[in-house]
Amino acid sequence: MRKVAGFTIIELVVVITILGILAAVALPKFLDIQNEARAASAAGVAGAVASGSAINYGAFLIKGLSGGVVTVNVCTTTNLAGVLSGPFPENILVTAGAGALTAGLTDGAAGNCLFSHSAFATGITTVGIVKVD
C-alpha cells in the first residue's frame, strides 16, 4: 500500500474552527483597543494644549499682548490651535463644559475645555486652559 502525505479534511475543519473561535474572541478586544487609542489621542492633545497655554501665559506676563502672544479665551479648535507648535488634529473635537473657558474670566484664570475624538463619543478629557485676552 502507498503512503499518502497531507492533511485530512477533518484536520482542516478543526484548524478552521479553532481560527474562527480565536477571531471571534480577538475582534471585540481589538475594537476596545481602538477606542482606548482614540481616548488617549484626545488626552494627548489636551495635555499639549494645556502646556502650550501655560507657556503662552508666561509669555504674556513677560511681553504683554504686543509680544506675539496668542489670545486664548474660548474653547474652540481655531482659538486653541495657536498654542500648539503644529496644526490642530482634525479628528479632535473641543467643546465648552462646566467651568468653561470664557471671555468673562480674568487673564490667568483657568477655564475647562472638553477634548474628545470624533470617532469615539465617550472618553472626553477635561483640561484647564489659562486665559489670555
**Confidence (pLDDT) at 122:** 66
The secondary structure element, H or E, covering residue 48 is: helix 9-63
Q: How confident is the model at residue 1 (pLDDT cuts 50, 70, 90)?
A: low
Q: Render pLDDT for 71-115 as a digit per residue (tens, 0 to 9).
A: 888 888 888 888 888 888 889 988 887 778 777 778 888 888 888
C-alpha cell at 37: 487609542
Task: Please answer whether residues 70 and 80 qualify as being in contact, where contact means their C-beta atoms are separated by less than 8 angstroms.
Answer: no
Q: Does the model's pTM come out above 0.95?
A: no
**123 pLDDT higher than 70:** no
